[in-house]
Amino acid sequence: MEIILIQDVPNLGFKDDIVNVKDGYARNFLIPKGMAIMALPSEKKKLAETLKQRSFKEEKVKKEAEKLAEKMEDIHVKIGAKVGTSGKIFGSVNALQIADAIKEQYDIDIDRKKIMVDGESVKEVGVYKAKVNLHKEVRFDIKFEVLAE
């Protein structure tokens, strides 16, 4: 079934993308939750007009995201965590803690929802990578180090 996404859906697409999904996924999850609408011809026309009007603004946002990505390309974030005797941390490090550390150390504000931690979860002291999706065409990796407090 062809649908139009109303909001960003992880591992599926971004807002205003037209994607094909299985009928059950669309009817039972995406459409009832308000994440998508069916891609009827009239909805496609509305979407085309909206995208045309938004293209100028989108280009400006993309340029700002590229500047921020260039600025953040080589940063190394340090995150302190309480550590047990075996070297494992209590709990885990997540995107919220990474976003807070970037704000504190570099004074750059990034939404935590745009940060994806590689692998399952960070539960030990060490150096890790996280992916940052500032824009659907602007993605980059940052390194972060988990240190014992």
Q: What is the pLDDT of residues 99-138, one digit of tens each?
A: 999 999 999 999 999 999 877 778 889 999 999 998 888 9
pLDDT at 84: 87
pLDDT tens digits in sequence order for the chain, 149 residues long? 999 999 999 899 999 999 999 999 999 999 999 999 999 999 999 999 888 888 888 888 899 999 999 988 888 999 999 998 887 898 889 999 999 999 999 999 999 999 998 777 788 899 999 999 988 889 999 999 999 88
Question: Per CATH, the architecture of 2-63 is what?
Answer: 3-Layer(aba) Sandwich (3.40)
Superfamily grouping for domain 69-148: Ribosomal protein L9, C-terminal domain (3.10.430.100)
Are 101 and 132 contacting, i.e. CB atoms less than 8 angstroms apart? Answer: no
pLDDT at 57: 84
- Do the domains at 2-63 and 69-148 have one common CATH topology? no
